[in-house]
Structure 1
Amino acid sequence: MKAIKLSLFLVFAYVCAPLLHAASLPDFTELVEDASPAVVNISTVQKSDSQTLSTPFGQFQGPGGEELPEIFRHFFRDIPQFRDRPNKAPRSLGSGFIISHDGYILTNHHVIKDADQVMVRLNDRRELEASVVGSDERTDVALLKIEADDLPVVPLGRSSELKVGEWVLAIGSPFGFDHSVTAGIVSATERALANENYVPFIQTDVAINPGNSGGPLFNLDGEVIGINSQIYTRSGGFMGLSFAIPIDMALEVSEQLKGQGFVERGWLGVLIQEVNRDLAESFGLKKPAGALVAKVVPDGPAAAAGLQEGDIIVGFNDHDVVLASDLPPLVGRVKPGDVAELDVIRAGRNKTLDVTIGHLPGEKGDKPANVEKKPVETSRLGLVVAPLQDEQKDKWNIVSGVVVERVEDGAGARAGLVRGDVITMLNGERVETLDQFQRIVADLPSGRSVPLRIVRRGNPMFIALKSE
C-alpha cells in the first residue's frame, strides 16, 4: 500500500512540476496587450549617391560584403533591397514610443541622424511624417512630434528604482518585424561603456537586434524604464548583452529638447583616470577607488574651486565615486551655475570642495605632436630626458616638465614610459627643470610605488613608478 501511494505521489509530482514552474514565471500577455498600441515603427529617408552605404554596422559593399568589427553597436538596419541600387534613398528602420496624447515620441538619436525625412508607422497602420523637435548625440536620445490627437501612450516608470535580477520586456521592430516581444532580466545598472561618458546604461540579457533601436524597455508593472540603444556583439547580432538608456535620464534630456531644442550639461573641467591597484598603493590608499585628476583645465570650474592634479575624487553631491566612469554622468546632470560638493583625497587627507558647475564646451580633438631632439641627461630610472621647449609647452598646453628622449632598461621602462612622454610631476612634486628632476629622482624611496604624472601625445595621465 505504501509503495502504491509513493508511486502515485511521484506521478503527481512529475505531472505537476512543469505547471508549478510555469506558474512561477511572469505572464507578459496583459502587459504586451496594453503597451503595444503606443510602440511605433520609425523609418528614415536619406539621399544617397553611392552604392556603398554607411551604417552603424560598418560599410556595406553590396550583399554579403559587410564589415562587422567587434564594438558596442547601435542597431538599426538599411533595408537590403536598397543596398545594390545607387541613387536611391535608403530607408532605415528603428523603433520608438509615444509619451504624450498629442504626439511626442521618444527614440534614439542614431535612428534619425542625418535623415531628410522621418516617417512613423502607428499600431493601427497609419503612417505619419514626424518632425524632429531635438536630438542629443551624447545620450543618443531624440524627441519627435507627429500631428495627431488622442494617441495611446506608455506609462513611464523610474529607472532609479530598478534592481538587478528584475524581469524586463522589450517591444520593437527587429529586422522590420513590427511589435516583436522579447524578455529577460536586468543584468546590471549604471554600466559605463567605452566612449559613452554621460549615460549610466541598464544592461540586460533581453534579445535585441537591428530595428529594436529606440524601442521601450518595460518593467513588470508595464512602465517604461529604458530606451533600447546598444548591443555588444562580434557577429552583428544579439549575443546576450544589450544596453538601454535609463528613462530618468531620457526624460530630463527630452524636456530640454522640447523647451530649447538642445541639452545643457554640467562641466567640471578636469581630465580623470581610473585608480588601479598600483596607483592606489602609490597614493597610500587602502583600496583602488575614485577618479584620479590627471589634468585641471586652466580657468575651468575645478581650477576656480582649488582642485589640483593628483587629487582623487571619491564623492560628488553625496554620491560615492567608486569608478572614474561614475563621475561624468553625475556632473553632466547638474545644471550649469549650480554649486556641487566634491569629496577628495589630497596627499592622504580627506578634503571637501565647493565647485560652481560650468557649461560643457564643445569637444576639441588633441593633435599628436613630434618631440624634437634636445640635449639629454640620464637618470637612475633608466631614462634619457631633455628640457621642455617653449614650442612644446604651447603645443601641449604644458607649463613645465622634462621630455623622455630614450627609455632604457629600468624602472621607467617597467612603468610603461615611452619616448615622447613629458614628465610633469613625480612623487607629488611638480617637475620644473632637469636639475630638479634629478634631485627628486635621487630622493625617491626604493621598492615603493610613487605617482608619476605624464603627458602623452597631449593626454595627461598618472602611472605608478617603483624604483629599485
Structure 2
Amino acid sequence: MLAVVLLLLVPDFRGKNISPWQIFNLTEQKPQPLSYAKAVRLAGPAVVNIYSEDIQVDPIYGRQPRKVTRLGSGVIMHNQGYILTNFHVVQSADLIVVVLQRGQELHAELIGYDTLTDLAVLKVQASNLPVIPQSSTLTAQVGDVVLAIGNPLNLGQTVTQGIVSATGQSGLSTSYLQFLQMDAAINEGNSGGALINSNGELVGINSRKFTQANSNLNIQGIFFAVPYQLAHKIMLKIIEHGRVIRGWLGVEANDSVASLKGFVIGAVTPNSPAMKAGLKSGDVVYQIDDIPLQNVKQGLDVVAEATPGSVLNFRVSRDNQQLVIPVTIAEVPN
C-alpha cells in the first residue's frame, strides 16, 4: 500500500519500470560523509610557503659566509599582493621567497612588522593572486571547529583539525596569552599559515605552540593564533605607517570590583602620561571620553588605539568624588 501511495505521489517512478519493493531501496540514501574539503579548496590556494634566507658572516678570518634558510607559511590577504605571516619567519632575512600552491615563485618585500603580535606584512608583485575568504563580522567561539593550513617541516601543504579552546582579543593592547587558543597542531613551518573555519573563512594567523621554561612538563594540544580581527587591524596599520603605533598611558591596572565598572589604577609609571595628568594609584576609571568601560582590557584598548598626542578625558572616581581628568596620550616607548 505504501508503494502504491509513493507511485501516486511521485510520478517520476511510474515510467522507470520500478517494482514496488525497489521503491523502498531508492528512498534509502547513504548519508554524506562529514568533510572539510570545500573549505580547504576555498582557502588552500591563498596559503603560501615562505622561505627566508639569512646570510651570516663569520667574524673569524677566512670563514665563508653561511646561508641560513628558515621555513614558514603566509596568507594572501589582498589581491594587490599583501601577505600576512609571522615576524619570526622573516626576521633578519636578506632574501624572502614566496611559493604559491600552483608552484609559482615570487620574491617578497618586507613592508613592516609588529613584535608584540609577531606579525609581518610582505608584498609581492603578481596578478590574479588567490585571496583567502574573509568576513569582517566573524567572531570565533569556544568549540568552533578550525583547520590549520601550512607547510610543516617543508612537507608541502597540510591540514590539521581541532577546535577553539579559548577566544582571543581584538584590541591593540593584546598580549601573547590573549591570542586565540586551539588544539589544531602547529609545527615548524606552520607558523604564519591560515586558521580557517568549516566555511573556509580566515579565523586567525597561526603563531606557535605553548612553551614553558620547565622542559619536564609534557604539554600537548595548546597552540596559538592571532585572531583575524586583530591581524587585519595590524596589517592595515603596517601598510599605512610601516609599523604599528600604539597609544601609551603608563599604569598598572586591574578590573574594578567596586559598583563602578572599569579598572582600578595600581602603580603609575614615572614621567608617564598618567603621572603628568595627575592620575593616582587607587583611582577607578569608569569612562574614557564617551565610552563607558566594562573592564581593564577595554580601557587599555581605547588607549592603545588612540593617536599619540591626542587628549582623552578620563572620568575617575576618587575618594567618593567624580573627576574628569584630561590625559595627553603618548606613543609606547621602545
**Same fold by TM (over 0.5)?**
yes
Residue deviations 1:127-163 (CA, integer Å, cap 9, x gap): 1110111112122221111111011100122476222
Evaluate the alpha carbon distance shift between residue 202 and residue 137 of structure 1 in structure 2; reply closer, same or farther with a 3 A threshold.
Answer: same
Using the size of structure 2 for normalisation, the TM-score is 0.75
Paired position in structure 1 for 2:271: 298
Are 2:301 and 1:335 aligned?
no
Contact 1:48/1:88 (<8 A) preserved: yes
Measured after TM superposition, the shift of residue 248 of structure 1 is 1.6
Measured after TM superposition, the shift of residue 360 of structure 1 is 1.7
RMSD over aligned CA atoms reads 3.5
Residue deviations 1:28-62 (CA, integer Å, cap 9, x gap): 110001111110011111122469xxxxxxxxxxx
**Aligned 1:302-313 pairs, distance under 5 A:** 302-303=274-275, 305-313=277-285
Measured after TM superposition, the shift of residue 191 of structure 1 is 6.3
3-state secondary structure, aligned to 1:90: strand
Evaluate the alpha carbon distance shift between residue 241 and residue 158 of structure 1 in structure 2; reply closer, same or farther with a 3 A threshold.
Answer: farther
3-state secondary structure, aligned to 1:320: coil
Distance 2:163 2:328 in 1: 36
Paired position in structure 2 for 1:271: 251
The one-letter amino acid paired with 1:359 is A
Are 2:219 and 1:247 aligned?
no
Measured after TM superposition, the shift of residue 274 of structure 1 is 4.5
- Out of 30, 35, 44, the position equivalent to 2:43 is 35
Are 2:167 and 1:189 aligned?
yes
Contact 2:39/2:198 (<8 A) preserved: yes
Distance 2:193 2:142 in 1: 21
Measured after TM superposition, the shift of residue 212 of structure 1 is 1.2
**Aligned 1:8-23 pairs, distance under 5 A:** none
Runs of 5+ unmatched residues, structure 2: 1-29
- Out of 77, 83, 100, the position equivalent to 1:122 is 100
Using the size of structure 1 for normalisation, the TM-score is 0.55
Residue deviations 1:45-93 (CA, integer Å, cap 9, x gap): 1122469xxxxxxxxxxxxxxxxxxxxxxxxxxxxxxxxx984211100
Paired position in structure 1 for 2:52: 44
The one-letter amino acid paired with 2:142 is V
Contact 1:264/1:359 (<8 A) preserved: no
3-state secondary structure, aligned to 1:42: strand
Contact 2:316/2:325 (<8 A) preserved: no
Contact 2:168/2:226 (<8 A) preserved: no
Paired position in structure 2 for 1:262: 243
Paired position in structure 2 for 1:220: 198
Residue deviations 1:87-124 (CA, integer Å, cap 9, x gap): 42111001101112231111111111111111101101
Q: Between the two proteins, what is the percent identity of the paired residues?
A: 35
Paired position in structure 1 for 2:187: 209
Larger RCO: Structure 1 or Structure 2 (Cα < 8 Å, ≥ 6 residues apart)?
Answer: 2
Distance 1:201 1:141 in 2: 12
The worse-fitting range, judged by mean Cα deviation, of 162-171 and 285-294 is: 285-294
Evaluate the alpha carbon distance shift between residue 353 and residue 41 of structure 1 in structure 2; reply closer, same or farther with a 3 A threshold.
Answer: farther
Contact 1:209/1:237 (<8 A) preserved: no
Measured after TM superposition, the shift of residue 296 of structure 1 is 4.5
Residue deviations 1:400-432 (CA, integer Å, cap 9, x gap): xxxxxxxxxxxxxxxxxxxxxxxxxxxxxxxxx
**Aligned 1:221-236 pairs, distance under 5 A:** 221-233=199-211
Measured after TM superposition, the shift of residue 356 of structure 1 is 4.5
